[in-house]
Structure 1
């Protein structure tokens, strides 16, 4: 198994859970192997340099992780700025590079590796922000929406090669990205547990937690009201997962 963005948060949770479940080898992809958290190092996973916006890193990782049969596309970026009315106009491009082009490039690189090992799975860690325009998340929301479509297209292309593709819809999780959000947040490892179970069942798209399930339900019942509610959050002084 190869996990991108493995240094902390959900990526670390996937590394820990996979090893706990008896994975023969887990490659932990990080931007800088010299700057690894103690928690990741303690897992015993193989540390691999893997900056998902670097074609060279991706090619080298695919070559060195030649026995991989699972790819977890977890690395993500939320620039925490608006999409149109922003003082950082390049932020949206960076978010698209990490959240969409990153998984696209790793999928292209690892698909032949996984197929050569008899098939396997690719899991893309997404967000409820992929389901509807989420104004307060700026360029992160359209990037994750693009990644959701990437999963569906990759699934169709790779299924004949024995590779399943699962897209995970994730709510609020206790990570650095959500540090500014108050209220209930899921444990990263619980997301990994739900994600691996969805992968094992061969699910195409899976809601990993209560917020994801409730968000999808509200959107299905009244999509206009749901989207307007998301828009109002743009002007809130504080964000909270509380109802």
Structure 2
């Protein structure tokens, strides 16, 4: 799918990676970019159309789909991460919050906009995933659970949307220098690089893109013996 003349919806577009997805969509010639956020007043990027969109709120998702009936590309970017162990006292509550945003939120938006994409020729879904789809860690274990589920969801959506001609691209990446990873002392990628690589894969018609060396290494390690997912990430 080409960005030129596309009509793009980006969820979680008020900052970080979502903001960069919106900015580069405009730069690459999108006809219109809807920037979704819980608080539309937090959208400050010139040239976009702010949309009130909390992906955990079914009514807001339905309203966005009704208001943005010309969309041809949905970027499922909205996501949250809460550090902590699966065995923490609040571990279940934390996981439920992340699943509601990172998995069910992605599904709500995809379900609501699938008919919109169909009416507009098929279009594309771009789902932001993670190396956490394949490996866990002591401090982001529940987040990894949600991203593993989001990976499987992406693969299921690809099958479900095949007949209507919708491209579904899953993007996997390591740590990105955004608010989401603030306080985590690891090497981080710049959002501009991540979005540039991801949009290039979209325009090339790909189904999956591994943005960085870490995600490429880990994906190969899933099939290794022993599997890389059986232990901590080895950099």
Q: Same fold (TM over 0.5)?
A: yes
After superposition, what is the alpha-carbon deviation per residue over 1:91-120, rounded to whole angstroms, capped at 9, x for unaligned?
Answer: 110000000000001000000001101110
Deviation at residue 130 of structure 1 after TM alignment: 0.5
The alignment covers a number of residue pairs equal to 228
1:14 matched to which residue of 2? 21
Residue in 1 that maps onto 2:136: 133
The correspondence of residues 96-175 of structure 1 with structure 2, limited to 5 A, is: 96-175=99-178
Is residue 205 of structure 2 the alignment partner of residue 191 of structure 1? no
Q: 2:10 aligns with which of 3, 6, 9?
A: 3
Give 1:151 shift: 0.8
CA distance in 1, matches of 2:179, 2:225: 31
| SS of residue matched to 1:78 | coil
Q: Distance in 2 between matches of 1:210 and 1:43?
A: 33
Q: Distance in 1 between matches of 2:162 and 2:143?
A: 28
Does the Cα contact within 8 Å between 1:128 and 1:215 map onto a contact in 2?
Answer: yes
Distance between the aligned counterparts of 1:179 and 1:87, measured in 2? Answer: 21
Contact 1:92 1:138 in 2 (8 A): no
Q: Secondary structure at the match of 2:127?
A: strand
Gap runs ≥5 in structure 2? 1-7
Q: Secondary structure of the residue that 2:36 maps to in structure 1? A: strand
On the 8 A contact 1:172/1:211 being kept in 2, the answer is no
User: Please, which of 26, 31, 49 is the counterpart of residue 24 of structure 1?
Assistant: 31
What is the match of residue 5 of structure 2? none
Distance 1:21 1:50 in 2: 24
Q: Distance in 2 between matches of 1:152 and 1:88?
A: 27
User: Any idea what SS the aligned residue of 1:2 has?
Assistant: strand
The structure richer in helix per residue is 1
What SS does the corresponding residue of 1:11 show, helix, strand or coil?
A: helix
TM-score when normalising by structure 2: 0.91
- Structure 1 unaligned spans of 5+: 234-242
C-alpha RMSD of the superposition: 1.7
| TM-score after normalising by structure 1 | 0.88
Question: What is the deviation of 1:32?
Answer: 0.8
* Structure 1 residue 59 displacement after superposition: 0.5
